[in-house]
Amino acid sequence: MQYIGADDLSPVRPTRITCLFVIGDLISFILQGAGGSMEASDDANMTTANHIILLGLGIQLIFFFFFIFLTFVFHSRTRDWDVKANEGDWKRLLHVLEASSVLIFIRSIYRIIQFAQGFDGYLISHEVFLYLFDSLLMLILLFSFVHPGTVFEEQEPENKDIEMGLI
């Protein structure tokens, strides 16, 4: 958004996006860590510990869904937008970001369901699901086809502070 000078097309101010997602990650990691440490203690209530971990994973999934939502909203707002930057490259990169985010989201849902079922659950005991929802989705290396470095190395940023690392 900032690189192509399209801050005004974002539903959330780009300067707040990083802070928002870092807070979401911190909450998620703290809950997952607390649940994991509860599981490790001798007198732990395993059901409560698992619920805390699942809550952390769920919060992480909600924030990631919000990221995907913001990306699609931004993309829809840029459809007819004129930009000085190389049209095809940044739009192609945006498509790759959307596709890979959806694949990671699907994988995350699979992992939450797998964790919720436990170590004797249906998903973990049938190998085909591991290959389908974990390995196969991650083998689709979309950024190999459109690497962000090839898009941004030839363009001058709209805001020189970005190039200098000040933003």
Q: How confident is the model at residue 159 (pLDDT cuts 50, 70, 90)?
A: low
For residue 119, what pLDDT is reported? 79
Q: How confident is the model at residue 19 (pLDDT cuts 50, 70, 90)?
A: very high
For residue 3, what pLDDT is reported? 75
Mean pLDDT of 46-63: 93
Mean pLDDT of the chain: 81
Q: How confident is the model at residue 164 (pLDDT cuts 50, 70, 90)?
A: very low
* Least confident among 16-30, 31-45, 89-103, 153-167: 153-167
What's the distance, Cα to Cα, between the start and end of the chain in Å? 12
Highest mean pLDDT among 23-27, 39-43, 147-151, 163-167: 23-27
Tens of pLDDT along 81-97?
665 555 557 888 888 88
Say which DSSP state 159 is in: S
Best CA proximity match to 62, nearest among 95, 31, 97: 31
For residue 161, what pLDDT is reported? 55
Best CA proximity match to 30, nearest among 48, 65, 49, 56: 56
**pLDDT above 50: residue 140:** yes
Asked if residues 41 and 62 have their Cβ atoms less than 8 Å apart, the reply is no
Q: What would the two tokens of residue 138 be?
A: 């991650």
Highest mean pLDDT among 18-27, 34-43, 117-126: 18-27
The residue type found at 87 is: E
The residue type found at 78 is: T
pTM for this structure? 0.76
